[in-house]
Amino acid sequence: MMANTILCVLTLNCWGIPFVSKDRKARMKAIALELASGKYDIVCLQEVWSTNDFNLIRDGAKPVLPYSHYFHSGVVGSGVCILSRYPIHDVLFHQWPVNGYVHKIHHGDWFGGKGVGLCQIYYNDLLIHVYTAHLHAEYDRESDEYIAHRVLQAFDTAQFIHMTSGGADMVILGGDLNTEPDDLAYQVLLLNAYLHDAYNQPSSTDKTTFGTFATAQNSYTPTKLSRKSPNGQRIDYVLYKGGHRAQITQESYSLPLPETVPGETFSYSDHEAVMAKFKISHVGNATSGHSMDLERQSAVVQKALEICDEALARVGRHRKQYWMMSVALLLVIIAMLWVEWGIKPLVPFITAIMCYMIFMATLWNNMEVNGILAGKLGLQVTQARIQAANSNVEVPLSNV
């Protein structure tokens, strides 16, 4: 029987956008040096958008974290990777069906091909499933056009974890979820994947002291924002649950990195790193500790379904608008060719805009609708399962 052992997990959004992120190269070297300190057993990183940056971090930490995997996806890579002190035996990446908008180039989330990555890690004789994810950013909290994407990404991640972790002795999810504890996406993820937030433990102090983004102590937080909300937002998480052969006890939760890189005036990232330590006991047959608050889960799923319906209605309105603009531009082109106004050289330019509008009204619109419908139908299956559990009556879920 394995003695009680301590497992240390770290997650960090590295803010590694080439040509955009400040002090990127110096910070990546500092992150590699920190990971090489030997403090951490498993590390989940997000926003490592450059392969060179991943190689630098991997090579720098290799003496103590010899196993690593980068999840390639999309146009520029998923940005997420995992480093481990223990062997990685299998890997899998699941890309989300809804992933931002291709025409929102300034946001860029779509080009990352975001999703959730899984590494199967053997820790002594126990199997640990380590997941890492980076949900769609929230650019405007007052008018959030991506709320449906983020909620569906959270549900898809929860389903992926639930469906792939059956044989695991421990499950860990580390990532930048771009959602706060009171937000719907957070509730959808925790309740449907039966995860626990490493923050929620007796030794934690006031929640407001554990912001992980836009905090006053971070060098990259604008002064105006730090004065308005010095504690920032808690959007980076280590989530976990136990399996059948291991008893998991959380030992500590902290933001382990100093305010600035030693010897420098800047922070490691615009996010704070999150570290959680767990005591793992091999007990042969442990209970999974699943939370079965069906009433709360039902309310969360219902709210997510309403978000889906709102998103589908919005996509339908956009489709009509794109078609109307396409027809209007076609009439403009006909008029320009018919009347001698001396502006015929503009025809190719306007034609290109019209083709873009048609693309948005057809191919892109269909992709968006299908992505939302995929999530909605999954939520309906979950809703039927919850209703059946509440009424203790079996229903044919496959017919939902």
Q: So which residues are the catalytic ones?
A: 271
Q: Which residue has the tokens 């609708």?
A: 369
Sheet containing strand 67-70, edge to edge, reads: 67-70, 81-84, 42-48, 5-16, 274-282, 246-254
Would you give the distance in Å from CA 220 to the centre of its chain?
A: 21
Asked if 119 and 42 count as a contact pair (C-beta separation under 8 A), the reply is no
Alpha-carbon distance 151 to 157, whole Å? 10
Q: Which residue has the tokens 């102090």?
A: 205
> What is the full DSSP assignment across 154-220?
HHHHHHHHHHH-TT-SEEEEEEE----TTSHHHHHHHHHHT-EETT-STT---GGGG--BS-TTSTT
Alpha-carbon distance 284 to 303, whole Å? 39
Token pair for 138: 């929230």
